[in-house]
Amino acid sequence: MDSHTIVEALLLGLLEGLTEFIPVSSTGHILLAGHFLGFHSTGKAFEILIQLGAILAILSVYFRRLWQMLLDLPHDRLTRHFVLGILIAFLPAAVIGALAHDFIKTVLFESPRLICIMLIIGGVVLLVVDRMKLQPVYRDVERFPTRLYLQIGLFQCLSLIPGTSRSGSTIVGALLLGVDKRAAAEFSFFLAIPTMVGAFAFDLFKNRNVLTTADLPIIAIGFVAAFVTALFVVRLLLDYVSRNGYSLFGWWRLVVGGVGLVALMVWG
């Protein structure tokens, strides 16, 4: 493992943690950065497996709340409703992602131009939705109607196209369905837990025969970097979007997608 590869893994891990929970597509950013850096991982597993760092970051931030939910689950109806809602929202993308896994990894993950286009389209959508005069109806993630959990889960399916963004698709869907900005981001956090754990476990299983011990140090470096930066982002994001909305992330997507398209035309 040379120093150049270590630096690339560190940079990509930092990028994962920075972008995982904001609506700009962490996978799209990592794939684009990896393309231009010339970074190649076995079975494209690095890009998925380092998400474990971001998962642990959100688990640490929400540990007390999650632990209390676990204690309340057997006897509290509202807690059972919320946990069931998360599972309902998780299922559509989980089923489609499992069925289309090979196509996603071998075709969509290998299409940097598609990623740039989706970043731009998503940026436009985010800017438009952020400026719409939507009247929030739902402000408590634990009290959403069951149908709302399912509808947000269906929006999450869009994120299977790299560059779309898991958090972006769920947040935009939630906003359009009447959820306020803070609650939309918070539910995206909770939905990330089963979604990312599922993606991690499934990708690890699919690549079990091609990953070697030589891949582990690179994945570990990316994992640690993702954990540290994701911890920082999760602690700050809810307050930021409550005050400022999502327009910054829309412009971010437009810039990255536009620069990426120009770079692809110049350097390929």
pLDDT at residue 3 in the model = 62
pLDDT at residue 240 in the model = 93
Domain ranges of the chain: 3-267
pLDDT at residue 39 in the model = 83
d(CA 224, CA 52): 9
pLDDT at residue 2 in the model = 62
pLDDT at residue 91 in the model = 96
pLDDT at residue 266 in the model = 92
pLDDT at residue 205 in the model = 86
Closest to 245 (Cα-Cα) out of 190, 194, 193, 172: 172
pLDDT at residue 125 in the model = 96
pLDDT at residue 95 in the model = 95
Collect the ranges in the chain with pLDDT lower than 70.
1-4, 42-44
Torsion sign across C-alpha atoms 8, 35, 229, 206: negative
Q: What is the pTM of this model?
A: 0.88
Residues 40-56, buried b or exposed e (16+ Cβ, 10 A)? ebebbbbbbbbbbbbbb
- Which phi and psi angles does 137 have, rounded to 5°? -110, -30
